[in-house]
């Protein structure tokens, strides 16, 4: 089961950037029924921190570990490095256990037209570092991570200017640009600082 997040409507610079323009389209997946070991191998092989779990469909093999998204794949959960560590440390779960034992669900998804600003707000409000992007029928189109967002802003710093515009500080003089820039950087730091652990 997936739930689509409904973001608030913002009016700023990063609100104009759709996730489709910065999302990662090569999403690595496993099917329900595969093992935690399969997930760990894919994470290691591709140097990534999460794997999307897709529903096991009748007639489809569940032992494929290539991690490629198929056109009919519907996401049902996500497994992160933290999920695996937490479950192994607290529940002493076996590495051969099915991925369903550690995956997070329901999966919160967004659409490709969701803005960068809305994605940041959803991630911050739910304390997520990743969002799966799906089409109208719920099929995987991509994934967006906090690192992808940070890279997009780092490549084009003007994206954040709408988020923290000079109009938000009407009492500051034109000579206060350094203070505004410092506030922007501190706000960015706050946006991407994990709330827990």
> Sheet containing 107-110: which strands, arranged edge to edge?
2-4, 107-110, 130-134, 140-145
Per-residue pLDDT of the chain (197 residues; tens, 9 = 90+): 556 554 444 345 788 889 999 999 999 999 999 999 999 999 999 999 999 999 876 445 444 445 555 546 789 999 999 999 888 888 878 889 999 999 999 899 999 999 998 998 999 899 899 999 999 999 999 999 998 988 888 888 777 765 555 445 455 555 455 555 665 666 666 666 655 54
Question: Cα–Cα distances in Å, from 38 out to 32, 34, 133, 161?
Answer: 11, 6, 23, 42
What is the per-residue pLDDT for 59?
46
Q: What is the pLDDT of residue 56?
A: 78
| Per-residue pLDDT, 92 | 79
CA distances from 62 to 31, 135, 157 (A): 6, 24, 43
């Amino acid at each position: 089961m997936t739930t689509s997040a409904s973001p608030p409507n913002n009016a700023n610079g990063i609100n104009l950037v759709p996730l489709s323009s910065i999302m990662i389209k090569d999403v690595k997946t496993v099917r329900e029924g595969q093992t935690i070991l399969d997930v760990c191998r894919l994470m290691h092989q591709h140097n990534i921190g999460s794997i999307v779990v897709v529903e096991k469909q009748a007639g489809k093999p569940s032992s494929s570990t290539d991690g490629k998204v198929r056109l009919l794949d519907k996401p049902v959960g996500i497994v992160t490095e933290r999920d695996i560590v937490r479950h192994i440390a607290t529940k002493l779960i076996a590495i051969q256990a099915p991925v369903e034992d550690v995956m997070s669900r329901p999966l919160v998804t967004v659409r490709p037209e969701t803005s960068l600003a809305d994605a940041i707000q959803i991630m911050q409000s739910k304390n997520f570092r990743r969002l799966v992007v799906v089409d109208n029928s719920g099929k995987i189109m991509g994934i967006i991570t906090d690192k992808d967002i940070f890279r997009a802003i780092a490549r084009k710093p003007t994206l954040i200017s709408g988020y923290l515009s000079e109009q938000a500080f009407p009492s500051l003089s034109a000579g206060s640009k350094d203070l505004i820039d410092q506030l922007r950087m501190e706000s960015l730091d706050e946006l991407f600082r994990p709330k827990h652990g």
